[in-house]
Structure 1
């Protein structure tokens, strides 16, 4: 281990007890093949050339940066997401917390005020959407024979005259007003890469780290060394994860009527001259799913929700599957009879958000569904009256920050 890293890790133990206690759990190895630093929840790897470019305070900040990646569960939560964009999202999530804790990060790290307080999953959704929009604009610009915005030789979002973006007090670049965040994310370096834990005992490793984070937080609180933003992050990191898919399936199943009836005795016991009731499952009514088409629900989430719509339809087999898209009004309705092949069309819309029209339309057409599930960020106008059927709001905004629905059940959907 480079003596500078050993020295700064000791400084973390003394000055930043939360970070220091967790840093001691990570083995430090020299890795010239990497660009900067990296962690996989077992080790911290570093490029000696990059380390030589940092001063002591920046080295301490980068070590804390890597520790916070692990403490926040970033080594286990990537899933099928693009690794580079996931790394950017994770950096945006933790860098402000490092700075708020009074530490220094290298100049030019990713830190956008828009993302303060958001999870890496939320930030990833925004970055992915902005990247697609940027690629679309560039494609349209090439078709027109020029660059987007009509400015030759200048990237979208570059400051006029080629001036560099403003810097925060700690030297980290912050986006200027009116700049293109997606463009800056393409060029801003990461001071530390987050890698996914690859061993078979992932669940055990994740559980052990949650315990370690909780213990380190309690020890730091006793010494009075826990910034408010860090406390909030820790509370979210150690909170047990709830699988929204399981809640969705449970909600649909519970909304399907089942009961026992003597009308058709259970045949299994007739040879014993025992007349016992059999499970009676009346045909399930209509199942309605509404997709927020305002553009505030990202494509990855829409794709996962579409997959769960198909899974619920196969499991519950409603009389009809009705899928609506809605921004300020219903923009598309797809109806499938029981047994009919279901091929969902892409979400249609892109305006503002109001939740009123789907409920109004169902009432107007005399449809009384067995259940309704609404995928949305919860930022819109709700109906004035509660419907007679059960409603599940699948919120893409964390429930702690989401608007509370006036009726129905809510579940957090972070894909």
Structure 2
């Protein structure tokens, strides 16, 4: 009796979804991201791939030929491209690198696979990893790219969710099954990063690359001057409309009204205070960095002679300066650390600030509740514990 012919284009969904279940069960911090992927069977995709809309294209033949444990590893590999925003990062590369999509894919696979291998995942044969190119592990694909040879046989293609260029087997962006938008994807990245942090707090382990990724998502390294500029703009928004009236500068309409002086609108500059940590844990290098950032503050708000209040603080306020240049700053201290004292002192001043910037290595207690101003903690140095979530936190040095 002959066996019924099996349709080569029919996908074994039971096996495929069992592999995803295994991946999500073994690494529960990835579960939300894994289950956000929409499966699209396609005989045109070589193995598995993803587009930027979180649709996962799967070859029926690849599913048949691959054991469940390896399929689970490939699920994790593909979702890693999307979690790490490889297509977004690829879009910031020079145009020539963006056009070299498959070579770019190799570099991205090297970034992912060394973490997956360190995590004990059984990736299928032919996987790309840094050691194949004499590269160190733990790097970012942008650093690997220039050292991936152009002559290498680049037969893999993980799709536009990786390298950013639409693959021939992908659906049109607006067609087909459910898809995730950029805002939803960003929320999912944060949810995953928080799950990773909770996993570590429960004494679980993560590969180094995933740890760094989660830290970057939850505490992004940005140019803090951009954050300050945004805070200044928000504080100055009041000055952009009908702010307040003053008789110090007569209205232009006054000459038309004999004997009457009309008040005019004024546009005050925002008041800013900088609390500088001068405790014993702040070395010369950290204090130099702090002075450099005070220069950044002055460049943003030191207009028309507007003065910035700088408070040098360890466990007490040691010096207060009203400055228009960094040369006028007085730094003193060297004892314990309590930036709460400096924040309270800044807010108690007659010229109460709308923005307080705290320059510190983070080894300090923080206020128990939100301050009645815009509070920005600019953390200097590595490994500082972050302040409470309601404090805007940026890392100095991440230009």
TM-score, normalised with respect to structure 1: 0.44
**Who wins on radius of gyration, i.e. which is larger?**
2
TM-score, normalised with respect to structure 2: 0.45
